[in-house]
Amino acid sequence: MHALQGLQGSLFDQGDEIGLGPLDGLRRTDLGAGAWVDHLPGWLRGADALFERLAADVPWRAERRQMYEREVEVPRLLAFYGEDEALPHASLVAARDALSGHYAAELGEPFATAGLCLYRDGRDSVAWHGDRTGRSSTEDTMVAIVSVGDPRDLAFRPRDGGPTLLRLPLGHGDLVVMGGSCQRTREHAVPKSVRAVGPRISVQFRTRGVR
Ligand SMILES: O=C(O)CCC(=O)C(=O)O
């Protein structure tokens, strides 16, 4: 059983006031084959306070999935907010709307849904995958992720295997946006960590009809 261990607060994030910085510091990395990743460390201020609120307020659920002959527990807790559902904190509404505004011309539609994952410790993870359920299996899209809590690596590799292209440690209010063909031609993962690591929450904003 996982017990939720304490969060190691960032030296840069001692404040309780939750807010967003400007998006003009976003830096884009080209991952080839039409895929790219935008990254902005520390976009959300008060990330530790938001972590505490989300950990307490979100109705987290454990999922099970079939793996060959047996059913196994998905190693992280999950929650999903559809486009008509109220998000669990006002700062997530502000983040979604700011991202929709910033990427409007390039994306052509707003971010609509929010998926949340809680990684309780280094044993929680998500295996290599692309978000290819729905339109993202055939169309370019963007998935924007805001991370709070202790940093965990988000890694990228080509879909047909090969070496890791990029590894970003994400936590403490960091923003990453996967764009272009990233969900179709690249895969991403949060590998397990053998280091002692506290919990992290990832909030993924997606467009309508993409999972
Ligand atoms: O934890 C993350 O930031 C990535 C989550 C993810 O890839 C997913 O839920 O599809």
Question: pLDDT digits over 169-207, tens only?
Answer: 999 999 999 999 999 999 999 999 999 999 999 999 999
Query: Residue 29 forms beta bridges with which residues?
Result: 37
Q: What is the mean pLDDT of residues 134-153?
A: 96
Q: State the CB neighbour count (10 A cutoff) for residue 138.
A: 9
Ligand 1, CB cutoff 6 Å, lining residues: 115, 117, 126, 131, 145, 147, 154, 188, 190, 202, 204
Report domain extents, the chain: 25-206
Residue reference for tokens 């011309």: 105
Distance (Å) from CA 4 to ligand 1 centroid? 19
Residue 129 CA to residue 13 CA, distance in Å, equals 31
Residue 176 CA, closest ligand 1 atom number: 3
pTM of the model: 0.94
CATH class, domain 25-206, is mainly beta
57-109 pLDDT tens trace:
999 999 998 988 999 999 999 999 999 999 999 999 999 999 999 999 999 99
